[in-house]
Copies of this chain bind each other. A is one copy, B any other.
C-alpha cells in the first residue's frame, strides 16, 4: 500500500494525526514533572523523548506550540529543571489522564492520585510511583520554525532507578523495571524480553550477548 504526500495532506485532521503519530514506530513515553514560579506542580505526557549523547548526558523532546505560562514549557523555561518518569502497568492509565487539559495551576498529581517526590536541592517533582526517574537541567530551547514547536534539550543530572536493574556493562534492563512503550497517541505496550546483539564489526558475524 502506497501513500504519498498528497494523500497524507488530504486526510481528515484527526485521522492524519493518528496516522503520522504511529508511523514512526514504538516510542519512549514519559511523564514530565515541573513546578511553576507559583509553586504549582505539573505533569504532562511526552512521547518524543530521544537520546542525544552520553558525555555530556543529553536528551531532548519536542513540545507543542504553547504560551510560556504555568505549563510544562513555561515551567521548564522559568525553573530550568524538570523530571522524566517512566510509565509502567500500575500507572499508565493515570499517566494518560495527565494529557487532559487541566486549567493552569491545577495539579495533575492531585487530579490523578500520583504522588510528587523530591530530591534535596532539585526543585522539580518526580513521580513517586514511577520506577525509573530522570532529573534534567535545561541546556537549550530551540524553536522549530517549520511548525512552531520547540525542542527542549536537557542534561541528565539525577537518576533514580530500582536496585539490580543495571547490568554489568551499564545497560539498564527496562523490562525488569516494567517500563512500557507507546505507539500513536494512545496505545500502550509491554515489550517482551529483549535480545541483545554484539557490537557489529565488518569482519565477523554478530552473536547474541
Contacts A24-B50, A51-B48; A188 near B181 (Cβ below 8 A): no
- With both beta carbons as reference points, the residue of chain B lying nearest to A157 in the complex is identified as B5
Contacts A8-B159, A51-B47, A206-B97; A191 near B147 (Cβ below 8 A): no
Per the 8 Å Cβ criterion, residues 4-25 of A in contact with B are 4-5, 8-9, 11-25
Annotate A51-86 by CB proximity to B: 1 below 8 A, 0 otherwise: 111111111111000000000000000000000101
In the complex, what residues of B have CB within 8 A of residue A32's CB? none
**How far is A4 from B119 in the complex, measured between Cα atoms in Å?**
11
**How far is A169 from B144 in the complex, measured between Cα atoms in Å?**
28
One of B21, B54, B98, B194 near A17 (C-beta < 8 A): B54
B62–A200 CB distance below 8 A: no
- Copy number in the complex reads 2
Contacts A62-B52, A132-B23; A171 near B184 (Cβ below 8 A): yes
One of B149, B161, B172, B180 near A184 (C-beta < 8 A): B172
Q: How far is the CB of A187 from chain B (nearest CB, A)?
A: 4
B5–A24 CB distance below 8 A: no
A172–B22 CB distance below 8 A: yes
Contacts A86-B25, A171-B22, A181-B25; A62 near B50 (Cβ below 8 A): yes
A26–B191 CB distance below 8 A: yes
B24–A51 CB distance below 8 A: yes
List A residues at the B interface (Cβ < 8 Å): 1-5, 8-9, 11-30, 47-62, 84, 86, 92-93, 96-102, 111, 119, 132, 134, 139-140, 142, 144, 146-147, 149, 151, 153, 155-163, 165-167, 169-172, 174-175, 179-184, 186-202, 206, 209
17 A-B residue contacts at CB 8 Å?
A2-B119, A15-B169, A17-B55, A18-B167, A20-B53, A23-B156, A25-B49, A25-B132, A56-B147, A58-B147, A96-B206, A140-B144, A146-B153, A171-B187, A172-B184, A181-B181, A181-B191
